[in-house]
């Protein structure tokens, strides 16, 4: 139940009370039987079609009374009338916490069974792998795909290329705390020709088709502008999430146009943290599953 301030509490109570009073007024004003001839409203269509001023049918009034009585009983039992908790003391938060508690009591021991096992042992356990896969499909597949091969802008988790490190501790930290990777825009600093030169140099590092003269010029520009994050040899830096630019794994595409776009505009990726939501035991299972994906 919302913790309403004094004004809003009074506002809700007045609004609910007026609504019920209006419904009662409608009922009482129409709860009468007509005697004598029924009057016409005076509306006529097609020369002889007229509208009678008949009273509401009794069954409709009875249903309206039932609805009104139900509303009053409901407000007496459940929250809805301002801050009044209701006789049953129910709240959506309380129900949620009770369901979480029941689920923890039922499933907690199952997850806890793997708590003290190292990641390699958990990854080798068929039951644990099944549980890890279900966790992955529930929380990770929306971005990384059901096969964990990712998509444009979302890392492939099966190729052995890790921006933040592929060791169990690094994977666990990623899942627990999330990651935010930022590639600054360098278009203004490099200029149009400089951007193309660096793009051709990056392509040359992976044996892709490139302009050798531009790649030669781009090598110097890379050292001046890019090596601080990606390293002198362009092997990346897991501490910063800077990718290895020599392994032919591409998050945003390997075409010259895609690389130029990345250099010009920069990139920003965010991986949300799941530690608080999942808890340590589930994170441990999920870590083992993700770790195993690139070792099959």
pLDDT at 35: 60
Longest dimension (CA), the chain: 104
Q: How far is CA 181 from the centre of its chain?
A: 18
Coil/strand/helix, residue 59: helix
Q: Contact at 8 Å (CB) between 106 and 266? A: no
Domains in the chain (CATH in brackets) are 6-32+52-90 (no CATH), 96-178+273-293 (1.10.760.10), 181-271 (1.10.760.10)
Neighbours of 98 (CB within 10 A): 10
Handedness of CA 82, 88, 89, 93 (dihedral sign): negative
N residues, the chain: 296
Coil/strand/helix, residue 254: coil
Q: Using CA atoms, how far apart are residues 270 and 174, in angstroms rounded to an integer?
A: 11
Query: Which residues are CB-contacts of 207 (< 8 A; sequence separation ≥ 6)?
Result: 248
Q: Contact at 8 Å (CB) between 294 and 187? A: no
What are the CB-based long-range contacts (under 8 Å, 24+) for 19-27?
Answer: 20/68, 20/71, 20/72, 23/64, 23/67, 23/68, 23/71, 24/68, 26/64, 27/61, 27/64, 27/65, 27/68
Q: Using CA atoms, how far apart are residues 223 and 217, in angstroms rounded to an integer?
A: 11
Instruction: Give burial (CB, 10 Å; 0-12/13-18/19+) of 87.
Output: exposed
Average pLDDT (79-98) is 90
Range with the lowest mean pLDDT among 5-9, 32-36, 128-132, 175-179?
32-36
Average pLDDT (215-223) is 97
Condensed to tens digits (0 to 9), the pLDDT of residues 118-135 reads 999 999 999 999 999 999
Condensed to tens digits (0 to 9), the pLDDT of residues 227-245 reads 999 999 999 999 999 999 9
Query: Which residues are CB-contacts of 16 (< 8 A; sequence separation ≥ 6)?
Result: 75, 80, 81, 82
Condensed to tens digits (0 to 9), the pLDDT of residues 17-58 reads 999 999 999 888 877 665 656 666 677 787 778 777 777 788
Average pLDDT (204-212) is 96
The whole-chain average pLDDT of the chain stands at 92
């Amino acid at each position: 139940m919302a913790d309403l301030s004094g004004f809003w509490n009074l506002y809700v109570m007045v609004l609910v009370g007026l609504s019920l009073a209006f419904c009662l007024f409608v009922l009482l004003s129409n709860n009468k039987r007509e005697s004598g001839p029924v009057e016409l409203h005076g509306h006529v269509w097609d020369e002889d079609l007229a509208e009678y001023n008949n009273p509401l049918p009794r069954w409709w009034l009875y249903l309206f009374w039932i609805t009104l009585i139900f509303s009053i009983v409901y407000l007496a039992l459940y929250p809805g009338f301002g801050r009044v908790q209701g006789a049953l003391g129910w709240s959506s938060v309380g129900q949620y916490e009770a369901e979480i508690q029941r689920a923890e009591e039922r499933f907690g021991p199952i997850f806890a069974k793997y708590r003290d096992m190292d990641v390699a042992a958990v990854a080798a356990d068929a039951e644990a792998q099944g549980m890890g896969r279900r966790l992955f499909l529930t929380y990770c597949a929306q971005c990384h795909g059901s096969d964990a091969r990712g998509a444009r802008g979302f890392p492939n988790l099966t190729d052995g290329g890790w921006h933040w490190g592929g060791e169990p501790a690094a994977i666990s930290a990623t899942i627990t705390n999330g990651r935010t990777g930022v590639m600054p825009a360098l278009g203004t600093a490099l200029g149009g020709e400089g951007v193309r030169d660096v793009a051709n140099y990056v392509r040359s590092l992976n044996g892709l088709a490139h302009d050798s003269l531009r790649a030669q010029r781009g090598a110097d520009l890379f050292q001046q502008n890019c090596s601080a994050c990606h390293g002198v040899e362009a092997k990346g830096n897991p501490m910063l999430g800077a990718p290895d630019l020599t392994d032919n794994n591409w998050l945003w595409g390997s075409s010259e146009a895609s690389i130029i776009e990345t250099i010009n505009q920069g990139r920003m990726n965010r991986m949300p943290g799941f530690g608080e939501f999942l808890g340590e035991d589930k994170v441990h299972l999920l870590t083992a599953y993700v770790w195993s994906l690139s070792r099959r």
